[in-house]
Chains A and B, each alone.
Chain A
Amino acid sequence: MATTAVEPTRRDFLFIATGAAGALAGAAAIWPFISQMAPDAETIAAGAPVDFDLSPVAEGQIVKLFWRGKLIFVRHRTAAEIKAAQETDVTSLRDPQPDSARVKAGKAQYLIVYGNCTHLGCVPLGNDGAYKGWLCPCHGSIFDTSGRIRQGPAPTNLPLPPYEFVSDTKIRIG
């Protein structure tokens, strides 16, 4: 009975094969329980891209809409607001971004950003604060007319939703 090396036996093979099959079966069984937590087909369908007509938005007006449950600001900027946004020293910003990167080419009058302060999520007040952009009343974050953070605790600029111009006066968000 003296063998120097222990050969794997049929039993070892069966143990390992059963273990592997069991692990695979376990993963296959668990997967649907995890997958069911993902947004369901109705939620996904309700989150399809929406079209928004810009023509009723007057110059200087900020309009709110919801897409995928999140608030979006559509701001028809005045010439003065555009100028102030474009002539900022980008390097002085906490989250450096030129205004041109935050609007579509040739459509600088329309600023479309998500409407929740990037600090802790409150909805900032429009046409308020030192730069007449937005002022968040919760902890005093101040955004400029391009939605960029200037003062206060918010770490980043108001983010942009995905959108495209489908015509001169209509955008598709999403």
Chain B
Amino acid sequence: MSGHSNYVPKSAVGRWFERRLPIMGLIHSSFVVFPNPRNLNYYWTFGGILAFMLVSQILTGVVLAMHYAANVDLAFNSVEQIMRDVNYGWMLRYLHANGASMFFVAVYVHIGRGLYYGSYKEPREVLWILGVIIFLLMMATAFMGYVLPWGQMSFWGATVITNLFSALPGVGETIVTYLWGGYSVGNSTLNRFFSLHYLLPFMIFGVVALHVWALHVPGSNNPAGIEKKTDKDTLPFHPYFTIKDAFALVCFVIFFSWFTFYIPNYLGHADNYIEANPAVTPAHIVPEWYFLPFYAILRAVPDKLLGVLAMFGSIAILVFLPWLDTSKVRSGAYRPAFRVFYWMFIANAIVLGWLGAKPPEGLYVIASRLCTAYYFAYFIVILPLLGKIERTLPVPASIAEAVLGPSGSGSAMAAGAASSPNSQG
């Protein structure tokens, strides 16, 4: 995106079109010749995986919507009809449901990469914030999508989560009534959730476009956390990273397919195969696994409003991360003290997820509070302090040096190998 592309199409038709709408040049400069750091590891493949998952969810979702009925009397049966009567309906449904889980697996790895390697730091702050917005949109989309089958978990999850807004003083009750479109979760709620569930992914698509645009200004971060300086530091996106991303995608799709075809209901809840009953709440209401850490934070705080604020705050705090982390060194690879706290944060998040599925009593409550405290302390106390007091390892002089060693950055052989991938031998 830095200036005009020098791409010239081979055909006359191509050149005619390119002069009027330079989309081929845009694709060429963004995804063919774009220089990426040569030291990227596989954690950098998850952005591409996420883009694939978004397309997958949109495609499977659009075809599911051809058979789904968004009406409280028809919804549950329409899903069963998809499973039993529609050609490949069972597969499309399981792809969509497990695809949502896979989407969150990928996004958590993607965020974890950002947290470890300091990808949120200057000059990528806006890129990071756009990512947080995408994450929020994803959560809203997933929540509304889970309501659509109109099972017990759908209904009661919708009731619990929409009721959260009643905690807001004054306007809370009105907001909830407007969300519901009635005096309780009912047909109006289901109808509008279907409409918004169809809409939001396209908004995600738009923010993703901004996210990639913001990325292409400085280019990708890298495991060493140092900016690219010369051509020796980078390789063209095609073929090096197209093939790396493709390979990673294949591995991910195998993982995805394992769930879809062999254990398609493992990540779900059996109670959602019971039709919604407004008179009976299931013994243990649990959200889907990807919401569990936030659910644990919500329940850890004994006050209704503060619990809601803590839950939303746990995501909002991410927005401020570029300014909370005071370290001059970007990558965790050169910050040994930071690494300890980082992996504790990851373990803490997993424990929070586990706690979110447990009944809110006894030891689980105490543990949830401790883990919630660490979650916030990591952002508000640990990261600001660490940057001031930690002892970092010396950062390499360049990416090429990080990859090839101090003598290798001047090696012509390495540069030659990089520039001619199509030659024989």
Residues of chain A whose beta carbon lies under 8 Å from any beta carbon of chain B: 9, 11, 32-33, 35-38, 40-43
Contact = CB atoms under 8 A, between A and B. Distances in A.
Interface residues of B, number: 14
Contact of B424 (A11, A32, A38, A42): A11
B346 interface: no
A40 B88 CA distance: 10
B231 interface: no
Given A11-B424, A33-B59, A36-B66, A41 B88 contact: no
Contacts of B91: 32
A40 B59 contact: no
Interface string B48-84: 0000000000010001001100000000000001001
B424 A36 contact: no
Nearest to A41: B85
Given A11-B424, A33-B92, 11 more contacts: A9-B424, A33-B59, A35-B87, A35-B88, A36-B67, A36-B87, A36-B88, A38-B87, A40-B85, A41-B84, A42-B81
Nearest to B89: A36
B424 A40 contact: no
A98 B337 CA distance: 95
Given A9-B424, A11-B424, A36 B59 contact: no
B66 A40 contact: no
A40 B92 contact: no
Contacts of B350: none
B267 interface: no
A32 B92 contact: yes
Contact of B88 (A9, A32, A42): A32
Nearest to B421: A11
A14 to B, nearest CB: 11
A2 B281 CA distance: 80
Contacts of B67: 36, 40
Given A11-B424, A42-B81, A37 B92 contact: no
